[in-house]
C-alpha cells in the first residue's frame, strides 16, 4: 500500500497515509498518480479508519503542513517593500555596497551595488 494524495472535506489536498498513524510534522513519501514520489510533511490527522478497498489496512487522512510555503513563492514577496527606496514593492534580492543581501524593487536592482546601502 502506498500513500497518496486525497481531497479533504475542506476542498484542500491532503494526504492518505496507510499503516501506522503518522505524527504531525512527520515526513512521509507520497506517490502521485503518475508514479513519482514526493515527500510531504503531515499537518494533522483529520480522519482514521479502515481502508475501503483493502481489508485489514488502516488509513489516515491528514492535512499537508505548509511550512515549506517558500517553495510556492506565494508568500513574503507580496507585501515586501524595497529596502533601498522603501517606496516600491520588492521583486528581487540584490547585495548592497557592504554585501548585505536585501529585497529591492526592479528599479533599485538595476543600480550599481556601490550605490545601494541598506543599513
Compare residues 26 and 88 and give the one whose CB is closer to Zn ion: 88
Strands (E), the chain: 4-7, 13-18, 27-31, 37-50, 58-64, 92-95, 101-104
* Residue in 58, 85, 91, 111 binding Zn ion, rule: CB under 5 A: 85
| 18 forms part of the interface with Zn ion (CB under 5 A) | no
CB 86 within 8 A of CB 92: no
Rounded to 5 degrees, φ, ψ at 115 are -90, -5
| 83 forms part of the interface with Zn ion (CB under 5 A) | no
Region binding Zn ion by CB under 5 A among candidate stretches 20-28, 32-40, 74-82, 94-102: 74-82
Region binding Zn ion by CB under 5 A among candidate stretches 6-14, 36-44, 59-67, 100-108: 100-108
* Residue in 30, 42, 84, 102 binding Zn ion, rule: CB under 5 A: 84
Rounded to 5 degrees, φ, ψ at 71 are -70, -25
Amino acid at each position: 500500500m502506498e500513500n497518496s494524495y486525497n481531497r479533504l472535506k475542506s476542498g484542500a489536498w491532503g494526504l492518505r497515509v496507510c499503516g501506522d498513524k503518522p505524527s504531525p510534522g512527520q515526513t512521509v513519501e507520497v506517490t502521485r498518480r503518475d508514479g513519482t514520489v514526493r515527500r510531504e510533511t503531515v499537518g494533522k490527522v483529520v480522519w482514521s479508519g479502515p481502508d475501503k478497498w483493502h481489508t485489514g489496512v488502516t488509513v489516515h487522512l491528514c492535512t499537508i503542513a505548509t511550512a515549506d510555503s517558500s517553495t510556492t513563492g506565494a508568500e513574503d514577496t507580496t507585501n515586501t517593500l524595497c529596502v533601498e527606496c522603501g517606496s516600491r514593492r520588492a521583486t528581487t534580492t540584490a547585495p548592497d555596497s557592504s554585501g548585505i543581501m536585501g529585497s529591492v524593487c526592479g528599479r533599485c536592482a538595476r543600480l550599481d551595488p556601490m550605490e545601494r546601502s541598506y543599513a
